[in-house]
Amino acid sequence: MQKRFVSIWFRHLLTDWFTRRRPELRDVPFVFAAPERGRMIIKAVNPVAAANGIHIGMVVADSRAILPEVQVFNSQQGKDITLLSALAEWCIRYTPIVAIDPPDGLILDVSGCAHLWGGERPYLRDMVTRLSAFGYQVRPGMADTVGCAWAIARFGRLKLIVDAGGQVEALQHLPPVALRLENGIAEKLEKLGLTEIGSFMNMPRAALRRRFGENLLLRLDQALGQGIEYVQPIKPIESYQERLPSLEPIKTAPGIEHALRTLMEKLCKRLSTEEKGLRKAVFKCYRIDGNIQAIDIGTARPSRNVAHLLKLFEIKICQIKPALGIELFVLEAPVVELLSSSQEAIWNFSYNREMEIAELLDRIAVKVGMNTIHRYLPDEHHWPERSYKLATSLQEEATTTWRDDLPRPVHLLPNPELIEVTVAMPDYPPMLFKYKGNLHRVQKADGPERIEQEWWIEQGLYRDYYCIEDDKGERYWLFRLGHYQHAEPKWFIHGFFA
């Protein structure tokens, strides 16, 4: 089948994109620059600046000398590639095979596509009109080969569409640069007076190869259609989504569950081929009255276990109000992460244990909320309330060890509670104390253990902790806040020993 290619040249790709973002810069000369060998070199120029004689590769200082009002922005590394990829994805409307051609072009394999737009001319016109409407200045070229289309897009003067087999004629009067040559070779050709492709097209190949290398011949062959050139089409990332339309509107819970199961199986099958697991999933039900009912779940670890994911959804299915019926079910996975199958398949006991616990925690999180699940790690603070910290994940390891060299109560009150005491002497443990209306006679006591307030965190008085045993054998952790110097210090109960 006759191959046809379109090459699209974005004349001011970066600056057009920037003008699209900031329309106020439309009539202002501006450039993108990046540091290179200690100087700011211009990387992209907008049409207004270009009209004033500023070109790519100039030093910013020079451009300021020509045009003092020029605005300079920092160019972002790799921005052109991302922009081209996005544009290429958009161009899939014209043909399924689109490749990017950095730094400023796209190549479309349009074989057998143009007739759908009513011929090649309306096809190209549509493409140019739409891209111009976005604000991009484009020049397309169409030919039988990639090389020829590329040359026409950038250097063609008369026709943008080269008829089938008309490459030789089209390339005849174009400069050698149009062959996508390396800089040195094009200059050498120009120096020898070979300013048009036509002038060396028919020279003996051996002579050309000897003087200019293999590359020139390759490019020439590719442009004329005698050599093969492959394009690497982009692959748009398919979103993790599954749809299930229903013939009859569905109203019952079993129906919804069935739909969910079908979708989940499909989705998990795809995830397992791609070695991925989902972290979030949204199940949307499109009702016939236009309303959309959605429920979502999240998991602590990437998962593609159908049974587990269904169980997470099961709790929320009752939240769906089907009303008159649901006509379309959509299951999406907005967040997916890598989950290699080797990890899953190898019979690793501890890993499976962890997975099961993670799944249990998912179920709990779905029902009562993620903020109810806590895990603690030791922290290097003496202040009891700060002696532990929240772990951020199930796998997080402690950086220090838990201590057991000092007595600590098993039950700690969330806030120390004020008690009344009788103390024989300062710095002595109390003889009596009254807590919640009950009088406790102290029999045995240990202490004090002084814990200073950490001034870099919080200002406050120190605490003198005493371990106390009363006449009933009950053990308490009491402390005195501050000292006796200024006023009668306050006593608190902070915990209960086992």
Please report the DSSP string for 2-42 in residue order.
Answer: ---EEEEEETTHHHHHHHHH-GGGTTS-EEEEEEETTEEEE
If binding is defined by CB under 8 A, does position 388 make contact with other proteins? Answer: yes
* Residue 481 near residue 489, CB atoms below 8 Å: yes
If binding is defined by CB under 8 A, does position 316 make contact with other proteins? Answer: no
Chosen residue from 232, 319, 342, 350 binding other proteins by CB under 8 A: 350
Peptide bond into 47 cis (omega under 30): no
Q: Which of residues 400-439 bind other proteins (CB under 8 A)?
A: 401-404, 407-414
Instruction: Name the one range near other proteins by CB under 8 A: 68-76, 92-100, 348-356, 451-459.
Output: 348-356
CA nearest neighbour of 446 among 411, 486, 479, 483: 479
Beta carbon nearer to other proteins, 90 or 497? 497
Measure the CA–CA gap between 331 and 326, rounded to whole angstroms.
Answer: 14
Chosen residue from 51, 119, 337, 376 binding other proteins by CB under 8 A: 376
Q: Which of residues 152-191 bind other proteins (CB under 8 A)?
A: none
* Closest separation in Å from C-beta 293 to other proteins: 25
* Closest separation in Å from C-beta 451 to other proteins: 12
Beta carbon nearer to other proteins, 205 or 403? 403
* Closest separation in Å from C-beta 467 to other proteins: 5
* Closest separation in Å from C-beta 319 to other proteins: 17
If binding is defined by CB under 8 A, does position 22 make contact with other proteins? Answer: no
If binding is defined by CB under 8 A, does position 357 make contact with other proteins? Answer: yes
CA nearest neighbour of 207 among 198, 195, 196, 216: 216
Cα dist from 39 to 42, 57, 99, 331, 358, whole Å? 10, 11, 34, 52, 54
Chosen residue from 443, 454, 461, 483 binding other proteins by CB under 8 A: 443
Beta carbon nearer to other proteins, 15 or 387? 387
Instruction: Name the one range near other proteins by CB under 8 A: 38-46, 234-242, 333-341, 371-379.
Output: 371-379
Chosen residue from 15, 46, 145, 387 binding other proteins by CB under 8 A: 387
* Residue 246 near residue 327, CB atoms below 8 Å: yes
Binding string to other proteins for residues 448 to 477, with x set by CB under 8 A, is what? -------------------xxx-xxxxxx-
Chosen residue from 398, 418, 439, 461 binding other proteins by CB under 8 A: 398
Beta carbon nearer to other proteins, 410 or 457? 410
Measure the CA–CA gap between 43 and 33, rounded to whole angstroms.
Answer: 5
Peptide bond into 103 cis (omega under 30): yes
CA nearest neighbour of 14 among 62, 65, 63, 84: 84
Q: Do you know the residue count of the chain?
A: 498
Q: Tell me whether strands 30-36 and 71-74 are parallel, antiparallel or unpaired.
A: parallel
Instruction: Name the one range near other proteins by CB under 8 A: 96-104, 136-144, 180-188, 389-397.
Output: 389-397
Beta carbon nearer to other proteins, 285 or 366? 366
Structure tokens at 426: 């300062």
If binding is defined by CB under 8 A, does position 356 make contact with other proteins? Answer: yes
* Residue 413 near residue 436, CB atoms below 8 Å: no
Q: Which of residues 240-259 bind other proteins (CB under 8 A)?
A: none
Residue 84: burial class (beta carbons within 10 Å; 0-12, 13-18, 19+): buried
Chosen residue from 375, 441, 450, 483 binding other proteins by CB under 8 A: 375
Per-residue exposure over 258-279, b if at least 16 CB sit within 10 Å of its own CB, e if not: ebbeebbeebbebbbeeebbbb
Measure the CA–CA gap between 124 and 1, rounded to whole angstroms.
Answer: 21
Measure the CA–CA gap between 440 and 471, rounded to whole angstroms.
Answer: 7
Beta carbon nearer to other proteins, 68 or 473? 473
Task: Centre a 10 Å sphere on the Cβ of residue 64 and count the other Cβ atoms it contains.
Answer: 15
Instruction: Name the one range near other proteins by CB under 8 A: 60-68, 147-155, 237-245, 366-374.
Output: 366-374
Chosen residue from 37, 115, 374, 486 binding other proteins by CB under 8 A: 374
* Closest separation in Å from C-beta 445 to other proteins: 7
* Closest separation in Å from C-beta 353 to other proteins: 4
CA nearest neighbour of 409 among 281, 496, 321, 484: 496
Which residues contribute to the site for other proteins (CB under 8 A)?
A: 350, 352-354, 356-357, 359-361, 363-364, 367-368, 372-378, 384, 387-388, 391, 394, 397-398, 401-404, 407-414, 443-446, 467-469, 471-476, 495-498
